[in-house]
A and B are shown apart, each in its own frame.
Chain A
C-alpha cells in the first residue's frame, strides 16, 4: 500500500484577500482558508508519516524561496517545507497565515516553486503529488502562453495533479459568475484555466470546494482477508467438492473515534497558577497527558481489616469461573478448554431462501471469491453460485478461520452481477444465543380460559388495517430518489447515501476545534441528519392518509401523572380472589409490620389504607426496621436489604406525597450512618445509597416538598 502523498498548498496572502466581497461578511482569506484548513487538518488527523504537506505563501511581504535570486520570483515565501505534519506544525502554520501589505506576486512562479519542492522531495519514487493554488487572481501574471504550456508539460511529466481554486472565479458548471470582475482577474482566470486544461488539472471556484466540505468523506479501507483456503462439500479426501476461495469483509463497522481519558499535565497545571489559567492551557492544547491503567488485585481474607487482602499479580494463576467456584488451569493446560479445530470452510447443507429471515444475522457480512488467478476455482465457484441462484437456495457452512479458532456457522447467498459474482455470507446464531421470551400473538387475543378472540380493543379494526395499508403505500420510498433526469426512479436513502452521523460529526468537530480552538462547536452539517425525518414533500403528499390513520387509530397519550403515581389497581390472582378482603379479616390482620416480611406488609398497608395516620405509622415502623438492619449488620451483610427497604419506603412516600416525613427520616439516617451510631463505620453504605440515587424527595417529584432539586443534590455532598 504505497499511498505516499506530497501536497503543496499555495495560498494567496495578498492584502486584497483581507477584504470582503460579494456580500460575504468574512474576509476572502478566512473564507477560502476554510477549505485549506479542512484538508490540512484531515491530513493531520490521519497522523500518517507518509503524508507530506508543504505550504507556499503568495504575495508575501518578503521573499523566501530557493529561486529568490531569479527574476519574477519575488514576494513568494515557502512557509513550510514538505514533510509530515502534526498539531505543532499546524499551529506554527496558522500564525504565518496573515494578510500581507502587498498585492504583488506571480502565481505561476509560485506553482514552479511548488513543483521544485515536490520534485526534490519525492525524487522518482511513487507518490501522489498534488498542488493546490488558492488565489483571488488579482495580481499581474508575468507569463505568456508559451510559458504556460511549458509549465503544463512539466507538470504532466512530474505526474502532479494541479488544482486551482479561485475566489469568485466564474464556474458555469457550479453556476457562478462574478459580474463586476476586474479586467486583471478576468485575464488571469483565462490563463489559469488554460494551464489546468493543458495539464489535466482541476479548475474551480472556491465556493464549490467549500460546499463540498459538507459532504462527508469516506475513508477507503484495504480489503481485509478473513479466510483463505478451500470451501468444501463432503469429504475432500474422497473426491468431494473443494474450491480454493478467499473471503473478505463486505461490511465492517467503521470505528467511531473514541474519546480517551487524559489528565492535565501537572507541571503545566502548577505553572498556570490559579484556576483561570486552565482554559488557556486547554485551548492551546498539547498539555494533556495520556492516562494509563494499572490493576491491583485483592482476595477475601477474614483476618484482615475490611476482610480483604491485596495480592501481587505475579502470584496469581490463570483460571475460569464455574458458577462461584474458581477453577485453576495450570500453564501447561492453558488450552484445555479450547476446542481443537482445524482451519476449514465446509458446507453443512442447503435451505430454501424463503426460510431465511435477515434479522437472524449476528454481524458483519463477508464476500467469498475464488482464489486469485485460479481459473479452476473460479469456474467451480461460479457453478456453485449459479446453482444457489437457480434453486433459490442458501447454503449453511461451518467456518473455522484459523487452526484452533472456534467454529462459526454462516449462511451463504449467491450474488450475480454483469461483471462480478461472489457469495456473500453472514454469521448465524447458535442455539445458546437465542433467548426464548414468549410474547402473545399480534393477530388474536387468547383469554384466560383459552378462548380466541378476533375482535378486541388490542386488535386493529378492519378500518385501521385499511388506513394503515394506504398510509404505508403512500410513504413508499423504494423509487423516491430523483435520477439525473429529475424523475423519481431511484431508491431513497440507499446505503451509498447514508453517512454515519456520529463518526462524521466527531471528525468535523475535532478538526474544527484543532484549527479554531477559540470557536464554539460548529452546527451539525445537514447531510448528517437528512434521514432523521421523512422527506418534507413526501410527508406532504401522504398527509391526508396520515390524518385518516390518526383518526382511525385513536391513540391516546397516557398523562404523565398517571405513570408513577398511586395506581390502586386491585391486584388479584387468577381466581379473582379478593386478598385485600382476606387481609382485613381478623385471622389475617397484621397489627405491626413483621421485620421479616417488611416489604409486603408495608406495601399492603399502603395499598389498602386511606388513613394518613396508619400510613405514617407504617413509615415509622419501616424506618426502625431499616435502622435495625444496619445496626445488626455484620460488615456489609444487610446493606442490600436495607437499601431495598429504603427504596420501597421512598417509593411509597412519593406516592403518598409525604416528602417531609421521608426527608426528615433520611437526614437523620444520614447523620446516624456517618457518625457511626449504627453499629460502627457504615460509610460504605452511604456510598451505596448515593450510587443508587436514594436521596431526598425534591419538589419536582412531589410538589409539596420544600426541598429544591439543588438542595437534593447538595444532600449527597458530605
Chain B
C-alpha cells in the first residue's frame, strides 16, 4: 500500500513540470504602467515600463524597456504587447499605475476597475496622475536610479524621500473612496520635467469620476497636515519683519462636526504642532519670549492658510476629507442622514484651533 502511494506521489511531482510555470529568466517584469487617451477617440494608449532581470547586483546597470500600444481596451493592448516581447509579461511587481491627465479629466473608473479586478495586480499599488501624459512620466530615468522605476516607488511609498507634498494613494483606497458615500477620492499628480526628473507636489481632487480641482503645493502640504500624523515639513512664521521657518517634529490634526440647534453648523479643526526653529532671516537672538511670539505668529499664519483651503474645498462641493462620512457615522438616522448632510454642507463654517509650539531654537539661540 505504501509503495503505491509513493509511486503516486512521485508521478504527481513529475506532473508539476507540466504546469505552466515559467522560470524567472523567461519572465519580464512590468514595474509601472501608464494609461493615456489614444489618438482615436475612445481608444486607450497603454504603456508598460519593463524591468529586465539581471544576475549580478554589484554590476547592475539599469535596463528598462518601454512598450506602448493603442487599443480600445486595456486587456487587448496588453495581449497585443505580448507578441512584441520574447518573454512572459509578469505584473505581480507592478507598483504604480499612472493615468494621463487627459484621461483623469474624463473618467478614472474604467482603469481603476481593471486594476482591482485583475488577480495578479496588487492592491497596494500607487495610483497617480501623469502630467502632461503618463508615457512621459514613465520615460523619466533619474540619474540616481539603479533599478527601473525605483525612484517613483520610493517617492510614493515614503520609504525614500519624506516629502510633505506627496499624498500617495493605494488602489484599494481609491476604490473605497470612489464608491463610498460621503468621501471623494484624491490622486497625486506626477509631473515630468524633461527625462531625468519628476515633480510630485500637487494633489488632484476628484468627484467620483474625474478631476475637479487641483491643489497647489502649499495647499497639498496643508491637506497632508490635516489628514496625516507626524508630517515632516517646515512652515513659515513672520515676526517683526524677520522671516522664520520652523520644522515640525510632531503634528496631529483632528476635527469634529458641530450642528448646534441655533446658529450655523461648523467644523472645528484642532491642529497641534511641535516645532524646532530652522531658519532665521533676522540677526536677532531668539529668546524665550521671541520663541513664544513666533509660535503665535506661526499659528496665525497656519490658521489663515488652513481656513482658506477648507473654504476653497467647500466651494468646489467636493469632500476629500470625508466629512460626510464622519457626519453619517455619528448619526443613527440612517435613512435621512445623507439628505441632512447635503443641506448642511454648503452652510458649513470652519473654526480652526491651531496650537503651534516651537520648543527649541535649534543649535544656536
Chains A and B are bound partners? no
Binding site for B on A (CB under 8 A): none
Binding site for A on B (CB under 8 A): none
